[in-house]
């Protein structure tokens, strides 16, 4: 991926979307739910401001919304999918958590990086996914990683971490 395009994705993933999510005047999840092309349009705007052509299409971004806990209808979560990252700290996905009143917000990113992993007795650089939380002040907390090719339910783990942070 071109370095300038990666920098523009970073702006979207780590600055613009978190700022909009935590803005009390904007309902980011509802806005994207009502216009699934909104994420790509936001990236178009960033590319335009940076003098770049957007190499991605609407299909390279995704948005899904879930009831987080089948036993508690209070909680909703959304997953924003991004183009496959190939540079740290670009994201595979972003997880948004909130209650049905729009409060108790939490934002997590699932970020790309390479890490040394021991497999078959050898230490090798392996593509990993790092789960990170971002608060309203854009403070960043890393909650660990797993090899990207291992089946880990990061969404559920992130939701549990978020609920525990509210206790």
pTM as predicted:
0.93
Q: What is the pLDDT tens value at each position of the chain, 167 positions in all? A: 899 999 999 999 999 999 999 998 889 999 999 999 999 999 999 999 999 999 999 999 999 999 988 888 899 999 999 999 999 999 999 999 999 888 899 999 999 998 888 878 888 888 899 999 999 998 999 998 888 888 789 999 999 999 999 88
Cα–Cα separations (whole angstroms), residue 90 to 8, 10, 13, 71, 144: 10, 6, 7, 33, 16
CA angle 37–25–111, rounded 5-degree value: 55
Question: ∠ CA 15-26-76 to the nearest 5 degrees?
Answer: 90
51: region left, alpha or beta (phi > 0 left; psi from -120 to 50 alpha): left
Structural domain boundaries in the chain: 3-165
d(CA 49, CA 88): 22
- Closest Cα partner for 105 from 159, 64, 32? 159
């Amino acid at each position: 991926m071109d370095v300038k395009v990666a920098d523009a994705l970073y702006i979207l993933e780590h600055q613009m979307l978190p700022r909009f999510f935590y803005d009390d005047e904007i309902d980011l999840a509802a806005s994207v739910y009502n216009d699934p092309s909104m994420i790509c349009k936001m990236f178009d705007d960033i590319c335009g401001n940076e003098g770049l052509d957007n190499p991605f299409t609407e299909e390279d971004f995704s948005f899904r919304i879930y009831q987080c806990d089948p036993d508690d209808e209070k909680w909703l979560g959304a997953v924003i999918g991004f183009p496959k990252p190939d540079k740290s700290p670009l994201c595979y996905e972003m997880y948004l958590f909130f209650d049905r009143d729009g409060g108790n917000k939490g934002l997590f990113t699932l970020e790309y990086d390479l890490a040394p992993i021991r497999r078959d007795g050898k230490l090798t650089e392996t593509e990993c996914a790092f789960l990170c939380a971002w608060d309203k002040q854009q403070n960043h907390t890393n909650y660990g990683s797993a090899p990207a090719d291992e089946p880990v339910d990061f969404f559920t783990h992130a939701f549990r971490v978020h609920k525990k942070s509210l206790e």
